[in-house]
Structure 1
Amino acid sequence: MEGAESNTVHEATAAALGFYYQSQFALLTLVSQTADDAAVAIERLDDVELKANGQTLLYQLKHSIQENPPPVTLACVALWKTIKVWIDAIPLVSLADTTFHLVSVGSVPSDSPLMALCDTQADREPLLQAMLEEANRVIEERAADQAACVKPRHASRVKGCEAFRALDASTRSSLLRRIRIQHGNVTVGQIPEALSKYLHILPKEQRFQAAERLLEWWDQQVIYTLCGKRDRVIQRSEMEHSISSIIAHLDDEKLVADFDMVSHPDDYKADGMLYRQIALVQGRPSDISRAVREQWRAAKQRSKWIVDKPQMRSKIAGYDAKLAEHWSDLHARMAEDCEHLSPSEVESKGLDLLRWTHDLAPKEVEPIAPSWSGHYYVRGTYQVLAIDLQVGWHADYLKLLKD
């Protein structure tokens, strides 16, 4: 019983991996296409159905978890089951615009007539005759067994053989011309690596991680297609959008604090508005020197990001808005508290707000990216915003600096 339980688990594993292989192979097929209209569906007309450039490509997949996968031969059950599936699909497609692909982890023996299906230029007439002979043999041997009242052989292949023999000669030849065999293919465990090779837009060290994230997104889409939560067909444009999102997230995670502990040039002078803003709240020399240093670092960092990663422009703008919102909440409350205070007390409140940007803001405002650790960016960006009068330290800074 222990052995039987083990075999049952093994069979379930093979079946589960077989379906997962279909899903991942569909993504690998889609990412290899260049046509903008490329799209795939799973478990519709075939295991995988690809439409691209007005053509339909149907794929039957034969996966194996064996160390030495079984070869694809004329006596192979998988071959004749596949033939039956394709013959059943003929009324549903335009044969002239459809190609049929048998994708196998196992290989076709070099001396097999099926090698003709691995070469689009090969003569397929000898293969046609060999397949008819095999179909006739299977059907005749099964009939003989039935006549002898013994258990008929070839139960798994006979329907495919009968369907192939029943085709008229023209359709049979046309079908065979449209069949391709892709043998010796990658296994389910090798697909992430194979997928990463198509992500040329990314640096080499990021490709495998991006491939794994793309597969996570893809798995969810496939599940949704099968349970009716979305269209059965997944478009190439959807995949491209997902890749763009993955690239953006990977960029976020790899933001480096390039100017941490880097000093500005000795002769550097910030925009005059920075000094005027601090003067309004009677900032000390230490407040000024710190503001100038962090403004220089933040400005250099922003410039470098935009040059190296142009897509960072929108992220920088969004983060500016976040910083301005945090400042606005504090500034509005401060302005209310200053209504009945003396000018010197108002300046003191403003100086506290300036120093908040240096001391507490880097801790209270979430960083621009999860991995970001450069506190100078928050401190310095507040000074960048102050130069543009988007933020200020004095309760009436806009009125006082309107000239």
Structure 2
Amino acid sequence: MDEDEPSVKHAAEGSALGFLYQSFYALRTLVTLTTDDAAVGVERLDDVELKADGQTLIYQLKHSISTKPPAITLKSRPIWRTMKVWIDALPTLTLAETKLHLVAVGAIPVNSPLVVLTDDNADRADLVAAMTAEAERVLEARAAATKAGKPLPYSDRVDGCRAFVTLAETERLNLLRRAVIRPNSPTVAEIEKEIAQHFHLVLPEYRAAVAKRLVEWWDRQIVYSLSGNRDRVITRAELQSQIMAIVADLEQDKLVPDFLTVVPPDNYQPDGMLARQIALVKGKSFDLKRAIRQEWQAREQRGRWATDNPAMKTKISDYDQVLREEWSYLHEEMVEACVEFEAERKCASGLELLRWTHNEAPNKLPPIAQGWSAPYYVRGSYQVLAINLKVGWHPEYETMLGEDE
């Protein structure tokens, strides 16, 4: 194993969780607001941008995957990187109408000058002086290293230090007057539970499920936003509408198509039997591609239902019997018709049956529950059954694939 691999993996995990933290914190922020016209965007002016009550709130988020997150001090890299981001954004902001938030999971030492940033009304003059002194110390250390021909220190914070001292003293003070630090903030693993605690009008037994489904919906909206497939901002009205829809579904015990717009992860590898079943009837590449996607969607959906409600296991099993029975009528008819057929004709008949599960079965068979209309469940469940040899496409699939096992 490469010696650098653990640290690289750690960095990748940190980056991924850092982005998730942006998304989750944006949702948490919008959930906690009571302003009807509030709207939030991710990765716009800053990690999170919120508009409410005629103000723009800018959030710079600093997440940590450490069990004991590092303290926030004047020497912390996040402080100076945040200063750089905010100072660069100043030309696009009306500072008097903007609040700048640094959100961190770490704590601030009680004797740190940064403590004043936890209080909107505390005087910032001493903090300006302390930050100016620290920034000048960093720049002087680099100048001394340059003169001595030594490696330059503080490369991780120099840009923020230089930007800060470049501002006039009054500009520094005005910047920090609009700045707030939120230390000891919930981690990415804690936010979903905290979001659930804000659903005061939702019955207690539904809160965790509402939060879980809301986070999944929110993640999709963030992806659509960043990819240009929806507006860049998500409004509180949208959020409220989605919460109401989720609660209504839960109260009616309605099955929700959780994976309708979700695709398998890039590294997903289906059971090899799925491909062998399709190869046996000489299916095309598109037959295999869509079968893999639908099988993953159905498998994930079945697992979700069974986890959320163990009683669903019986419903899933009973519906599998419905699918097998409908398939059996067509398969038995095909077997009889193919007795005298050559191998090529048998494959063609089997391919027709495979495509029936995709093109016709979802529309002709009764849904698993009233109101269910997502076709992927029927299509994918047939693939799940095919993997287990409970159904098949070739007239002689049991004999031919049973020999492979």
* TM-score, length basis structure 1: 0.63
Greater shift, 201-210 or 117-126, is seen at 117-126
Offset of 1:121 from its aligned partner? 2.3
Q: TM-score when scaled to structure 2?
A: 0.63
CA gap of 1:139–1:111, structure 2 versus 1, over 3 A, is same
Corresponding residue number in structure 1 for 2:250? 250
Give the 3 Å change call, closer, same or farther, for CA 367–84 of structure 1 in structure 2: closer
Whether the 8 Å CA contact 1:49–1:58 is kept in 2: the answer is: yes
1:341 match: none
Q: Aligned-pair distance for 1:5?
A: 1.5
Displacement of 1:102 after TM fit? 0.3
Letter in 1 for 2:239: M
Between the two proteins, the alignment pairs up a number of residues equal to 263
Taking the TM superposition and a 5 Å limit, the aligned residue runs for 1:194-209 are: 194-209=194-209
SS in structure 1 of the partner of residue 5 of structure 2: helix
Query: Judging changes above 3 Å, is the alpha-carbon distance between structure 1 residues 13 and 366 closer, same or farther for their aligned structure 2 residues?
Result: closer
Shift of 1:365: 9.3
Matched, 1:19 2:8: no
Q: Distance in 2 between matches of 1:22 and 1:367?
A: 36
- SS at 1:41's partner residue? strand
CA distance in 2, matches of 1:116, 1:367: 57
- Note the residue ranges of structure 2 that are not aligned, 5 or more in a row: 256-365, 373-405
**1:103 corresponds to:** 103
Shift of 1:198: 1.2
Distance 1:150 1:37 in 2: 54
User: Structure 1 regions of 5+ residues with no counterpart?
Assistant: 256-363, 371-403
Match of 1:152, SS state, is coil
State how far apart, in whole Å, the 1-side matches of 2:368 and 2:155 are.
66
Please give the residue correspondences for 1:82-101 in structure 2 after superposition, counting only pairs within 5 Å. 82-101=82-101
The 1:366–1:182 alpha-carbon spacing in structure 2 relative to 1, beyond 3 Å, is closer
Sequence identity percentage: 49
In structure 1, the residue corresponding to 2:171 is in which secondary structure? helix
CA distance in 2, matches of 1:24, 1:103: 13
User: For residues 4-403 of structure 1, what are the structure 2 equivalents within 5 Å?
Assistant: 4-253=4-253
Partners of 1:77 and 1:157 within 8 A in 2: yes
> Which position in structure 2 is the counterpart of 1:358?
none
Shift in Å, 1:173: 0.9
**2:55 and 2:124 mapped to 1: Cα distance?**
22
Task: Give the aligned residue type for 1:146.
Answer: T
Aligned partner of 1:19: which letter? Answer: F
Q: Give the letter aligned to residue 128 of structure 1.
A: V
Q: Distance in 2 between matches of 1:171 and 1:366?
A: 63
> In the aligned structure 2, how far is the partner of 1:204 from the partner of 1:103?
29
CA distance in 2, matches of 1:8, 1:367: 46
1:159-217 deviation per Cα after TM superposition (whole angstroms, max 9, x unaligned)? 11111111112211110100000000100000111000111121111101100000000
- Aligned letter for 1:28? R
Using the alignment, how far apart are the partners of 1:247 and 1:124 within structure 2? 45
Q: 2:403 matched to which residue of 1?
A: none
**Does the Cα contact within 8 Å between 1:253 and 1:369 map onto a contact in 2?**
no
The Cα offsets for residues 13-67 of structure 1, whole Å up to 9 and x where unpaired, read as 1110000000010000011111111000100100000000000000000000100
Q: Deviations over 1:335-385 (max 9, x none)?
A: xxxxxxxxxxxxxxxxxxxxxxxxxxxxx8976578xxxxxxxxxxxxxxx
* Alpha-carbon separation, structure 1, partners of 2:14 and 2:132: 31
**Cα distance, 1:145–1:33 mapped onto 2, change above 3 Å:** same
RMSD of aligned alpha carbons = 1.8
* CA deviation profile, 1:240-267 (whole Å, cap 9, x unmatched): 1111110111011189xxxxxxxxxxxx
Counterpart of 1:167 in structure 2: which amino acid?
L
Instruction: Identify if the C-alpha distance between structure 1 residues 52 and 132 changes in structure 2 by more than 3 Å, giving closer, same or farther.
Output: same
Amino acid at match of 2:61: L
Distance 1:254 1:218, change over 3 A: closer
Matches of 1:109 and 1:242, distance apart in 2:
40
Bigger Rg, which one: 1
Over 3 Å counting, the alpha-carbon distance change for 1:146 and 1:201 in structure 2 is same
Confirm or deny: 8 A CA contact 1:36 1:237 kept in the other structure.
Answer: yes
Query: What secondary structure, in the 3-state scheme, does the structure 2 residue paired with 1:225 have?
Result: helix
SS in 2 for 1:181: strand
CA shift in 2, pair 1:365/1:87, >3 Å: closer
Contact 1:71–1:107 (CA under 8 A) maintained in structure 2: yes
Runs of 4+ in structure 1 deviating by more than 3 angstroms, as ranges, are 364-370
Determine if contact 1:40/1:235 at 8 Å carries over to the other structure.
Answer: yes
What is the CA deviation profile of residues 85-137 of structure 1, one whole-angstrom value per residue up to 9, with x for unaligned ones? Answer: 00001100100000100000001111100001011222211111100100110
* Letter paired with 2:77: V
In structure 1, C-alpha distance between the alignment counterparts of 2:52 and 2:85, rounded to whole Å = 21
Quote the Cα distance in structure 2 between the aligned partners of 1:223 and 1:366: 30
Q: Residue by residue, what CA displacement relative to the aligned partner does 1:267-320 show, whole Å, maximum 9, x if unpaired?
A: xxxxxxxxxxxxxxxxxxxxxxxxxxxxxxxxxxxxxxxxxxxxxxxxxxxxxx
